[in-house]
Amino acid sequence: MSLDIKSVEFFVRVAALGAIGKAGMEFGYSPTAASQRIQNLEQALGAKLLNRTTRSVSLTRDGELFLSHAKKIVADVEDALTDLQGTGKIIKGELRVTASASFGRRYIAPYIGEFLKEHPEVSIQLELSDSMFDIVRHGFDLALRIGVLEPSTLLAKKIAESPRLLVASKEYVKEYGAPQKAEDLIYHNCLLLGEMRTWQIKDKIGKLSEIKVSGNFATNYGEAITEAALSGIGIALKSKWDVLEQLKSGELVEILPNHKLEPEWGIWAVRPPGKLMSARVRIFIDYIEAKLVRALK
Residues 274 and 291 in one domain: yes
Residues 289 and 143 in one domain: yes
The predicted-structure confidence for 119-178, as pLDDT tens digits, reads as follows 998 999 999 998 888 888 788 899 999 999 988 878 899 999 999 999 999 999 999 999
Of 187 and 56, more confident: 187
Residue that finishes a domain, picked among 34, 50, 85: 85
| CATH number of 143's domain | 3.40.190.10
Residues 143 and 269 in one domain: yes
Number of structural domains (the chain) is 3
Residues 257 and 280 in one domain: no
Structural domain span for residue 214: 164-262
Q: Give the model's pLDDT for residue 133.
A: 80
Residues 212 and 273 in one domain: no
Residues 179 and 190 in one domain: yes
Residues 81 and 97 in one domain: no
Q: With helix as H, strand as E and coil as C, how does the chain read?
A: CCCCHHHHHHHHHHHHHCCHHHHHHHHCCCHHHHHHHHHHHHHHHCCCCEEECCCCEEECHHHHHHHHHHHHHHHHHHHHHHHHHCHHHCCCEEEEEEECHHHHHHHCHHHHHHHHHHCCCEEEEEEECCCCCCCCCCCCCEEEEEECCCCCCCEEEEEEECCEEEEEEHHHHHHHCCCCCHHHHHHCCECEECCCCEEEEECCCCCEEEEECCCCCEECCHHHHHHHHHCCCCEEEEEHHHHHHHHHHCCEEEECCCCEEECCCEEEEEECCCCCCCHHHHHHHHHHHHHHHHHCC
Q: Does the structure show a pLDDT above 90 at 22?
A: no
Q: Give the model's pLDDT for residue 79.
A: 63
Residues 240 and 172 in one domain: yes
The predicted-structure confidence for 37-47, as pLDDT tens digits, reads as follows 999 999 999 99
Q: Give the model's pLDDT for residue 81.
A: 66
Residue that finishes a domain, picked among 85, 112, 143: 85
Q: Give the model's pLDDT for residue 174.
A: 97
Find the mean pLDDT for residues 64-68. Answer: 90
| CATH number of 79's domain | 1.10.10.10
Q: Give the model's pLDDT for residue 90.
A: 72
Q: Does the structure show a pLDDT above 80 at 98?
A: yes
Residues 65 and 96 in one domain: no
Residues 282 and 152 in one domain: yes
pLDDT-based confidence at residue 60 (cuts at 50, 70, 90): very high
Q: Give the model's pLDDT for residue 276.
A: 66
Residues 27 and 50 in one domain: yes
Residues 107 and 240 in one domain: no
Q: Does the structure show a pLDDT above 60 at 86?
A: no
| CATH number of 230's domain | 3.40.190.290
Q: Give the model's pLDDT for residue 130.
A: 86
